Amino acid sequence: MNPDIASVQAVLDPIFPGLMGVRLLEGAPDRVVAEMPVRPDLCTTGGILHGGAIMAFADTLGAVGTFLNLSGGKGTTTTDSSTKFIAGAKVGTAVRGESVALHRGRTTMVWQTTITNADGRLCAVVTQTQLVLEPRA
């Protein structure tokens, strides 16, 4: 049985995604939706969300999506990620991420995440591969 989204949020809160302010809104084995505030400490000069923060946000969503597909103590790690930056997000707003499964295999999963700003404009598209890890002995 897959965990509910509140349980997954509780796992994220004390680690890096929680530090960034990632808030899960929806979670299913084929789709994850979340928001993240654009705070000054996540920005570059000019009050625009840092590209690394965008990438970390997207990476979190793909990892959560993979996690929602795992069973038997399996884990996941990112093996590849490609980001296309399109527009910025201003400090004091929030970005929204939607990650959809492109491939959910036994050993790898591929997710594509779109990040939009408060105006609904596309900020970035991230495609990542998650490796499925067997439980440690």
Asked if 69 and 109 touch (Cβ cutoff 8 Å), the reply is: yes
Beta-carbon contacts of 106 under 8 Å, excluding residues fewer than 6 positions away, are 132
> Does residue 1 carry a pLDDT above 70?
no
Pair of tokens at residue 31: 């789709």
pLDDT tens per residue across span 8-32: 999 999 999 999 999 999 999 999 9
Q: pLDDT at residue 54 above 70?
A: yes
pLDDT of residue 2: 63
Q: Tell me what the mean pLDDT of segment 38-53 comes to.
A: 97
Which residues have C-beta within 8 Å of that of residue 57, sequence separation ≥ 6? 17, 20, 22, 34, 36, 95, 97, 115
CA distance readout (Å), 64 to 27, 38, 56, 109: 8, 21, 12, 11
So what's the pLDDT on residue 137?
79
